[in-house]
Amino acid sequence: MGSFDMTEDTAVRFAELIATKSNTKFDKQTFLENFRKGAASKAEDIPEVSGVLAEKIAKFKRSETRKYYPMSLFTSEDIKHFTFEKWNANTPARKAVGVSVFMASKQLVQQNSNYVFVGPAGTGKTALAVAVMNKLADVKSIMFVNLVALRSTMLASIDDERAKQDYNLIIRGMKEVELLVMDDFGKESGAGGATDKMTEILYSIVNARIGKSTIVTTNDNLSQLRSKYDESLTSRLIPKDEQKIVLFKDIDDYREA
């Protein structure tokens, strides 16, 4: 049985699952105390966990990593299943950016961080962000949100109660999910810059995501983003480490390659 790292919130729910399903005596309180002390940070550290519960553990893990994905806002069905294997690396520039993003995906397995993919439309930023997301889908909860689609959902929620419920659920997911892809950052603001409402929403999301992982794709350069948004937002979202800012340059439209 593979390693299953847990947050405290997950540990509580996991303990409840074991207490309910296990035929052996299981002291939930003791387990949680040990977890908080660092004595039971993995599922296999629990004596009561046996082969009989292995499938229940696997099912629980899958539900944890996939619970936010249905809230995603894609603008194209075709992009959902993109993987690194589908990336066309037939030029030095494509190969270099593919390697950079693949290495980022390996880093994100080990530690939480933000990455920003910068470049013109059609260079494959969204495709490779989805490739990272799909690669990590078995170890982290994932969610994809196109910010133009989010803005449309926000506007629809003003006069539609069902849309409002969906919108609130999406915002909550964006704050909680372990790995979030925020697609087309800057495009949702239009030519006149971000509205106060959209800035407020994005700030609340980014602020809640401190300590989690976020991948941002944008057609704007960093100077343009900083002119559109308040520093309190960009300073939390744009990493200071330049290696985590991936430039998609000298790449023709990858969809036509």
Q: What is the pLDDT of residues 22-79, one digit of tens each?
A: 555 667 777 777 766 665 545 555 554 544 455 665 566 666 667 899 999 999 999 9
* pTM greater than 0.85 (yes/no): no
CA dist 205 → 129, 145, 173, 176, 214 (Å): 19, 12, 9, 9, 11
- Asked whether the predicted pLDDT for residue 167 surpasses 60, the reply is yes
Comparing CA positions, the residue from 255, 250, 240 lying closest to residue 116 is 240
**Is the confidence at residue 207, as pLDDT, over 90?**
yes
Question: What pLDDT score was predicted for residue 2?
Answer: 42
Q: How many CA atoms lie within 13 A of 25 on its CB side?
A: 1
**Average confidence score pLDDT of the chain:** 84
φ, ψ (nearest 5 deg) of residue 235: -70, -25
Phi, psi for 61 (deg, rounded to 5): -65, -45
Can you give the pLDDT at residue 46?
53
Q: pLDDT, tens digit, for every residue of 96-132?
A: 999 999 999 999 999 999 999 999 999 999 999 999 9
Angle (CA) 156-219-125 rounded to 5° is 95
Predicted confidence (pLDDT) at residue 214 exceeds the cutoff of 60: yes
CB 117 within 8 A of CB 167: no
Average pLDDT over residues 163-184: 96
Alpha helices (H) in the chain, listed in sequence order:
8-21, 28-36, 54-66, 92-110, 125-135, 147-156, 161-176, 196-208, 222-228, 231-237
